[in-house]
Amino acid sequence: MSLFWRIFLLNAAMLVVAAVLLLGPVTVSTPVLPGEAFAVVAGLALMLVVSAVILRIGLAPLGRLNRAMATADLLRPGGRPPVTGPAEMAELIGTYHTMLDRLEHDRASSTALVLSAQEDERQRVAQELHDEVGQTLTAVLLQLKRVADRAPGELREEVSLAQEATRGSLDEIRRIARRLRPGVLDELGLTSALRALVAEFPDHDVSVRPRFTGAADTAPCLDHDTELVLYRVAQEALTNAARHARATHVVLELRRLPGRTELRVVDDGRGIADAPEGAGIRGMRERALLIGAELTVGPRPGAPGTEVLLCVREPLEESGR
């Protein structure tokens, strides 16, 4: 029954009962006697209480919907109000659910296009750094070697310094190219890519310890997009631990459990407290949504620091195989 008819019939019933009582045993004289005044006041109070209760019950789904709309976040699916209440309320909540489904689908589609374009651009830049800048610096190194062979003794040391600076720049260019597009991920898989990420982590003040358990130490059965998301989340989590959390020790763990694969990055930094999420964490959430994974970012259990946990669930047919 709709909310309109509920309220209308309730009020009509109470008015009918009041009319029957006034036409029957209940009478009001002039002047009003104390007993009659008490009966009228009590009846009025009862009508108001019953109206308040039915309105409270009928409008409760609207309050839940209002709270859900105020806290809705497309990067955090779930937490939707149940479809309950009168017909209009149930229809409104159902329409809200449909709208959220459409918005989440559109957000996921647009994010997938953006991230795909971003990965393509990273690959292009990495390729140009490796082919153009890398080859140019390699040619400069060869030229400097020839100059060093012919230079007099007093200039040979300066040429050697130039060689070392050029060689350092070439190594940095190659490292940046690998971070932009990790070729080892395509060639050797996720575990090897994470090992290389830890080995090449630029902040030497942070000790990063990798840990691979279960089948994760060999070759998890994950598609390329899932492996890329896991790699980027690990990369961003390590960067946040060094840049923002000021951590000194970080554990990067990849483990394969029945039906799911988990990536866990734990640091001993100052934690996130009540700080708002930045672009890095929101980027991790967007990537997690693309593959239907669950991302949790919060305080480290039982110790200071931050824990980033990404859980990738396998399809039923794969997990049950």
- How does pLDDT run along the chain (321 residues), one tens digit per residue? 666 677 777 777 777 777 776 666 666 666 766 776 777 777 778 777 877 777 777 777 777 777 777 777 666 666 677 777 667 777 888 888 888 888 877 777 777 777 777 777 777 887 777 778 888 888 888 888 888 877 777 777 788 888 888 888 888 887 777 777 777 777 778 888 888 888 877 766 788 888 887 654 444 567 888 888 898 899 888 888 888 777 888 889 998 888 888 999 998 887 776 666 777 888 888 888 888 888 888 888 777 888 899 998 876 444 444
Domain assignment of residue 221, yes or no: yes
Predicted pLDDT of residue 116: 76
Q: How far, in Å, CA of 52 to CA of 61, rounded?
A: 15
Domain end position, chosen among 103, 132, 155: 103
Domain assignment of residue 46, yes or no: yes
Predicted pLDDT of residue 26: 62
Domain assignment of residue 281, yes or no: yes
Q: Which CATH number fits the domain that encloses residue 200?
A: 3.30.565.10
Predicted pLDDT of residue 321: 43
* Token pair listed for 146: 């020839």
Is the CB of residue 128 less than 8 Å from the CB of residue 181? no
In total, how many domains does the chain have?
3
Backbone angles phi, psi at 85, to 5 degrees: 95, -175
Predicted pLDDT of residue 60: 76
Domain assignment of residue 189, yes or no: yes
Domain assignment of residue 141, yes or no: yes
Q: How far, in Å, CA of 165 to CA of 161, rounded?
A: 6
Comparing CA positions, the residue from 231, 247, 237 lying closest to residue 304 is: 247
Same domain, yes or no: 85 and 196: no
Same domain, yes or no: 175 and 189: no
Q: How far, in Å, CA of 121 to CA of 41, rounded?
A: 77
Is the CB of residue 232 less than 8 Å from the CB of residue 193? no
Same domain, yes or no: 283 and 222: yes
Same domain, yes or no: 263 and 302: yes
Same domain, yes or no: 208 and 223: yes
Give residue 72's domain range.
3-103
**Helix spans in 129-223 (H):** 134-150, 153-180, 183-188, 190-199
Predicted pLDDT of residue 274: 66
Strands 306-313 and 294-299: antiparallel
Same domain, yes or no: 198 and 296: yes
Predicted pLDDT of residue 148: 80
Is the CB of residue 245 less than 8 Å from the CB of residue 267? yes
Same domain, yes or no: 147 and 89: no
How buried is residue 7: exposed, middle or buried, by Cβ count under 10 Å (0-12/13-18/19+)? middle
Torsion over CA: 102, 107, 110, 111 (sign): negative
Is the CB of residue 94 less than 8 Å from the CB of residue 65? no
Domain assignment of residue 159, yes or no: yes
Predicted pLDDT of residue 320: 46
Same domain, yes or no: 198 and 313: yes
Same domain, yes or no: 192 and 146: no
Predicted pLDDT of residue 317: 46
Domain assignment of residue 167, yes or no: yes
E-only strand ranges, the chain: 207-213, 249-257, 260-267, 294-299, 306-313
Predicted pLDDT of residue 1: 61
Same domain, yes or no: 70 and 140: no
Same domain, yes or no: 126 and 14: no
Same domain, yes or no: 187 and 93: no
Domain end position, chosen among 141, 159, 180: 180
Domain end position, chosen among 180, 207, 224: 180
- The structure's pTM equals 0.64
